[in-house]
Structure 1
Amino acid sequence: MSTAESTGDESLYPIAVLIDELRNEDVQLRLNSVKKLSTIALALGVERTRNELIPFLTETIYDEDEVLLALAEQLGNFTKLVGGPEFVYCLLPAPESLAQVEETPTLESLAQVETPALESLAQVEETVVRDKAVESLRTISHQHSTADLESHFVPLVKRLASGDWFTSRTSSCGLFAVCYPRCNDKLKAELRVNFRNLCQDDTPMVRRAAASKLGEFAKAVGSEHLKSEVIPMFVELAGDEQDSVRLLAVEACVSIASLLPQADTEALVMPTLKHCAEDQSWRVRYMVADHFTELQAAVGPEITTVDLVPAFQSLLKDCEAEVRAAAAQKVKDFCQNLAPATRETQIVTNILPCVTELVSDANQHVKSALAGVIMGLSPILGKNNTVEHLLPLFLTQLKDECPEVRLNIISNVDCVNEVIGIQQLSQSLLPAIVELAEDTKWRVRLAIINYMPLLAGQLGVEFFDEKLNQLCMTWLVDHVFAIREAATLNLKKLVEKFGAEWAQNGVIPKVVAMARDQNYLHRMTCLFCINVLSEACGPEMTVKLMLPTVLGMAGDRVANVRFNVAKTLQRMGPILDSSVAQTQVKPVLDKLNTDTDFDVKFYASEALAGEAF
């Protein structure tokens, strides 16, 4: 018997059904019930949603994590469903107990339960549920009036911040910044004290949460209390015994530095930042390297020249490969953002010596990270410096034993072409390209194919025809299908770049010759090439040079080839003249439509159904 039947009250039916579903053993059924809460709320109306539905949802606080996650997300969108901003506070406070709810609830017993759920959800053990609850709380905080914010939302934040369990204290850290700006001065002072206590909490997880939100809180506090209260919190967290806390303080440093005048940044922030760049934990140093260009933008060019350039040199020479790799990825952006007046001198004198060492680094990830950005230094330094300082490094990397290093250099070759032209690199590019094209790892071969149109444009048609054309044709008969497919698309891009006449002389004859290959896979590749080349070359060249080959393959002994002939003819149909379609193509399709193979007949009939036939 359902709950509604046992009470005899039909007005409880939506709630009763929900109760039955949420008590079902099937987790998916409970999850689906939570996901349709907005529909139920609309059916109930705002008053019954506030008085019945919201209180009842407290029961799901003890459910599976995925159900709680869905509930936390739903409640963030419930403002209109409970009556708008005037009643949004009813989504906040946690319940005292469920004991007062009867096994078979009535309207009265449901209404007696205090409203739930977001405060409770912000305290559960599962992190993703807490995070979603905090996200929903942050959303509805903006929908509170100032009076309701001070009387309902801020007390919730303070309760969470002083909770017995670390879970509630970690969740509270994400709520200070959204309510602080709209509070009166007395509450602001209390919130600053609460946040400072969280920064000094005995539990590392709480201090981590506080450190991760310190930058956001600093922006909310503003300049009035920044130096007197927020900076001491930052310094304390940056010196925490746990490196997981210290590394998160680095992120806060970016926000804090951007809020301070330059003199205060130099005096109050830089000593701590320089200490972080030399921290005994590589994870902290990695975080500094990873955020280095953001820090650079925050502190300005003068402090960068005095303090950050030496720090960047140190990170590029770090004993840990992960730190060197993170710093290497920032080389281009860091150099780009140096003060224009001294940029060239700073790079040549301070940065390039470190970069030169990294080119021959023992760790391939470091070399690969550097190779991805080093070409970008060329436009910054200009032609003379590129030839003198960078070109030898490029040539060294093109010969590197690591395929990723060579690929990263080749993929950015256009940067150098803009400055010095490709000629000085071309002779060194060729061996690197050939090695990558023949690499035993098919993904490496695939990557170089994808860069080929770019290289073709940089190297020019003459160099390409002389050195690389045959290489592109070789990929068409690779034993890996993904390579053959990429090589086919590569041909289309090359034709679009070099023109149909180039295709007529250098590509189409070689593709057509594949129709006579003994390997049926190669014959199918011939058809795939014709598919894309016909689009790029136009109807005249298609009919003259490629259509006869396709029609001749209709009698191939392999069914897979024959049905691909049908597919190719169908694809060609729209670009063919109607007389050609009727006199040359349709008879071949009619014959294929009577083929003994089911798939051949299917694709032939599909082709015949097209408008061209």
Structure 2
Amino acid sequence: MASVVKSESDPSGDEALYPIAVLIDELRNEDVQLRLNSIRKLSTIALALGVERTRSELIPFLTETIYDEDEVLLALAEQLGNFTPLVGGAEYVHCLLQPLESLATVEETVVRDKAVESLRQVAALHSPHDLEHHFVPLVKRLAIGDWFTSRTSACGLFSVSYPRVSSSIKSELRSHFRNLCGDDTPMVRRAAAAKLGEFAKVMELDYVKSDLIPLFSHLAQDEQDSVRLLAIEACVQIAQVLSNEDTEQLVMPTLRQAADDKSWRVRYMVADKFTELQKAVGPTITNNDLVPAFQNLLKDCEAEVRAAACSKMKDFSNALPTETREQVIMTYVLPCVKELVNDTNMHVKSALASVIMGLSPILGKDNTIEHLLPMFLTQLKDEVPEVRLNIISNLDCVNEVIGIKQLSQSLLPAIVDLAEDNKWRVRLAIIEYMPLLAGQLGKEFFDEKLNSLCMAWLIDHVYAIREAATANLKKLVEKFGVDWAQQTIIPKVLQMSRDQNYLHRMTCLFCVNTLAEGCQKESATKLMMPTVIGLASDPVPNVKFNVAKTFIRIGQWLDQATIQQQVKPVLEKLKQDSDADVQFFAMEAIELLNVK
């Protein structure tokens, strides 16, 4: 992007017009990427022009140029949101409204959303006077626009303008918002429903009760379920500004209706927002209304709703009043859980498995052993790998309450099945949980039952598994200590250096890199160095240049005598290798290790 300098190709010598002329040429270019780059560099142009010419020339030009590709318009909408210092500060920020208003009416949703975001950003910079004389008229124009695109954009601007305007203008804004809530176009009603709660937070309490609550009730009964479900989000924010008495009287009838809505999408939204609703309405209403509603959602006929409710079970239970928590869970929640353990839908069972262990600390040891333990054992034998994985990943919750021994005998078959699953992503997931399992089960159980699994993963046919298994060894060393590694892990790893498969020999080197970091100098020199040096004579170039890379990694734990006596001769030999990659990494190692 050009700065304000005279162009040799500009015969008129008019330096002042040159940047705008260049910008015009670039924005007319057929190459979209060139136009996009030009827009992204608008700040450079504006700095070159200065604030006066930016206001008088650049902004009007950009306003007239809003006809481009959506990607270019999106970049422009984003740039204008940060343009305030470039037009002279807050005093002149209103000059950015015209191009942003045009962008807020385009057909592409992401462009409109970005324009609204930028408008909200610059609204905060307007003085109360400029807000009333420049920003509010823009909101009104958008709110009564012929196309639904402008009316949807208007919905997002009421909350940022309402708090700082006069009473008469506030009344006008409430009236416009009321009209948008009753708009003929579902897209506009959706946008209004999505911003209803946000508007409630900045509105006077009396007007929330008299104006917004009727709109909320109306939108919650809209013929379009996409509108009704957005009203649920507003329910949370409205309840936060009302007293418990007002919430019970004004909000709960609508919420009860939504929890039994004929559309599963609305019921799903209630389930998804349940803990937020619980926090907003308080403990009394939770016990009286939300507990039965939650029980119904756990029994819903649609699997998506049951899964969403299951995912909230732990947080919902934790947030119950302390004095009634155990009784509510045992009476209302636990009977549903017993049915859900054998649900026909895998997503429901998986969602349940991710939270059911979290009920143990809440219910205590006796209830866990009597009621939850049988369900844990059932899920550990489930045919769906994700269910077993989710149970295993939350073992720490149960270990704190009853200890892991109660589960250990059932755990082992589940872990072995997952470790040998045909799907490599399942095997990868269980590897990630292995350090957690090691800590829960203890060193003795791990060595006896699980050590062989960890070593088997190192020769898996999938590289991602071998890589994860290597990282897993380091975590196990951190868990069980260097002495354990030297006795149990390192000898088995070094044995892989004699494997017929060169990939396994390379894995041996990768393990040396990882283990040396955990065990440091003593193991690196005494135990592992001979194996690394031996692999330098490997017939496969990939193994040899990984030897050089290994020296780079473990060199920081080697003393200078070891480097000169043992490492240097090997690297000198590799530097003469016939393979170019081996030569390259050998020379790099010589340089980095400062071998002389």
What is the TM-score normalised by the length of structure 1?
Answer: 0.94
Q: In structure 2, how many angstroms separate the alpha carbons of the residues matched to 1:220 and 1:246?
A: 22
CA pair 143-363 structure 1, distance change in 2 beyond 3 A: same
Q: Does 1:14 align with 2:27?
A: no
Equivalent residue letter for 1:51: S
Out of 165, 186, 190, the position equivalent to 1:204 is: 186
CA contact (8 A) 1:578 1:612 kept: no
**In the TM superposition, what is the alpha-carbon distance from 1:445 to its structure 2 partner?**
0.5
CA contact (8 A) 2:552 2:593 kept: no
The 3-state SS of whatever aligns with 1:61 is: coil
- The CA deviation string for residues 543-586 of structure 1, in whole angstroms up to 9 with x for no partner, is 22221122122222222222222222232222122222222222
Corresponding residue of 2:80? 75
**In the TM superposition, what is the alpha-carbon distance from 1:365 to its structure 2 partner?**
0.6
Q: In structure 1, how many angstroms separate the alpha carbons of the residues matched to 2:367 and 2:414?
A: 24
CA pair 601-9 structure 1, distance change in 2 beyond 3 A: closer
The residue correspondences of 1:115-264 to structure 2 (distance < 5 A) are 116-264=98-246
Out of 43, 57, 63, the position equivalent to 2:62 is: 57
The 3-state SS of whatever aligns with 2:410 is: helix
Q: Does 1:440 align with 2:437?
A: no
CA pair 201-428 structure 1, distance change in 2 beyond 3 A: same
Corresponding residue of 1:270? 252
CA contact (8 A) 2:159 2:199 kept: yes
Out of 321, 338, 341, the position equivalent to 2:303 is: 321
Q: In structure 2, how many angstroms separate the alpha carbons of the residues matched to 1:567 and 1:46?
A: 55
Equivalent residue letter for 2:128: T
Q: In structure 2, how many angstroms separate the alpha carbons of the residues matched to 1:553 and 1:78?
A: 61
Corresponding residue of 2:385? 403
Bigger CA drift: 490-499 or 548-557? 548-557
5+ residue gaps, structure 1:
93-115
Q: Does 1:373 align with 2:378?
A: no
CA pair 612-40 structure 1, distance change in 2 beyond 3 A: closer
CA pair 6-153 structure 1, distance change in 2 beyond 3 A: farther
Q: Does 1:531 align with 2:536?
A: no
CA pair 357-515 structure 1, distance change in 2 beyond 3 A: same
CA pair 254-601 structure 1, distance change in 2 beyond 3 A: same
**In the TM superposition, what is the alpha-carbon distance from 1:7 to its structure 2 partner?**
6.8
Corresponding residue of 2:454? 472
Corresponding residue of 1:487? 469
**In the TM superposition, what is the alpha-carbon distance from 1:19 to its structure 2 partner?**
1.7
Corresponding residue of 1:391? 373
**In the TM superposition, what is the alpha-carbon distance from 1:352 to its structure 2 partner?**
0.7
CA contact (8 A) 1:332 1:373 kept: yes
Q: In structure 2, how many angstroms separate the alpha carbons of the residues matched to 1:168 and 1:13?
A: 35
Q: In structure 2, how many angstroms separate the alpha carbons of the residues matched to 1:605 and 1:15?
A: 53
CA contact (8 A) 1:199 1:237 kept: yes
CA contact (8 A) 1:573 1:612 kept: no
The 3-state SS of whatever aligns with 2:477 is: helix
Corresponding residue of 2:394? 412
CA contact (8 A) 2:186 2:227 kept: yes
The 3-state SS of whatever aligns with 1:507 is: helix
**In the TM superposition, what is the alpha-carbon distance from 1:9 to its structure 2 partner?**
3.9
Q: In structure 1, how many angstroms separate the alpha carbons of the residues matched to 2:583 and 2:24?
A: 57
Equivalent residue letter for 1:122: A
**In the TM superposition, what is the alpha-carbon distance from 1:371 to its structure 2 partner?**
0.8
Equivalent residue letter for 1:46: V
CA contact (8 A) 1:574 1:612 kept: no
CA contact (8 A) 1:407 1:448 kept: yes
Q: How many residues align?
A: 589
Q: In structure 1, how many angstroms separate the alpha carbons of the residues matched to 2:335 and 2:265?
A: 25
4+ residue stretches of structure 1 with deviation over 6 A? none
Q: In structure 1, how many angstroms separate the alpha carbons of the residues matched to 2:525 and 2:432?
A: 29
Equivalent residue letter for 2:461: H
Corresponding residue of 1:508? 490
CA pair 11-524 structure 1, distance change in 2 beyond 3 A: closer
- The CA deviation string for residues 427-482 of structure 1, in whole angstroms up to 9 with x for no partner, is 11100000000000011001101110110011000000110011111111111111
Out of 438, 442, 445, the position equivalent to 1:456 is: 438
Bigger CA drift: 363-372 or 520-529? 520-529
CA contact (8 A) 2:229 2:266 kept: yes
The 3-state SS of whatever aligns with 1:376 is: helix
Corresponding residue of 1:586? 568
RMSD, aligned CA: 1.5
- The CA deviation string for residues 507-532 of structure 1, in whole angstroms up to 9 with x for no partner, is 12211211111111111111111121
CA pair 223-504 structure 1, distance change in 2 beyond 3 A: same
CA pair 597-16 structure 1, distance change in 2 beyond 3 A: closer
CA pair 368-5 structure 1, distance change in 2 beyond 3 A: same
Q: Does 1:362 align with 2:344?
A: yes
Corresponding residue of 2:4? none
Bigger CA drift: 163-172 or 50-59? 50-59
CA contact (8 A) 2:509 2:546 kept: yes
Corresponding residue of 1:48? 53
Corresponding residue of 1:337? 319
Q: Does 1:311 align with 2:293?
A: yes
Bigger CA drift: 145-154 or 16-25? 16-25
Q: In structure 1, how many angstroms separate the alpha carbons of the residues matched to 2:85 and 2:594?
A: 56
Q: State the percentage of identical aligned residues.
A: 74
**In the TM superposition, what is the alpha-carbon distance from 1:377 to its structure 2 partner?**
0.9
**In the TM superposition, what is the alpha-carbon distance from 1:8 to its structure 2 partner?**
6.5
The 3-state SS of whatever aligns with 2:139 is: helix
- The CA deviation string for residues 393-414 of structure 1, in whole angstroms up to 9 with x for no partner, is 1111100000000001101101
Bigger CA drift: 467-476 or 579-588? 579-588
Q: In structure 2, how many angstroms separate the alpha carbons of the residues matched to 1:211 and 1:152?
A: 26
The 3-state SS of whatever aligns with 1:439 is: coil
Out of 39, 64, 88, the position equivalent to 2:93 is: 88
**In the TM superposition, what is the alpha-carbon distance from 1:417 to its structure 2 partner?**
0.7
Bigger CA drift: 63-72 or 298-307? 63-72
Out of 568, 586, 591, the position equivalent to 1:604 is: 586
**In the TM superposition, what is the alpha-carbon distance from 1:6 to its structure 2 partner?**
8.2
Q: In structure 2, how many angstroms separate the alpha carbons of the residues matched to 1:503 and 1:19?
A: 68
Q: Does 1:301 align with 2:283?
A: yes
Corresponding residue of 1:108? none
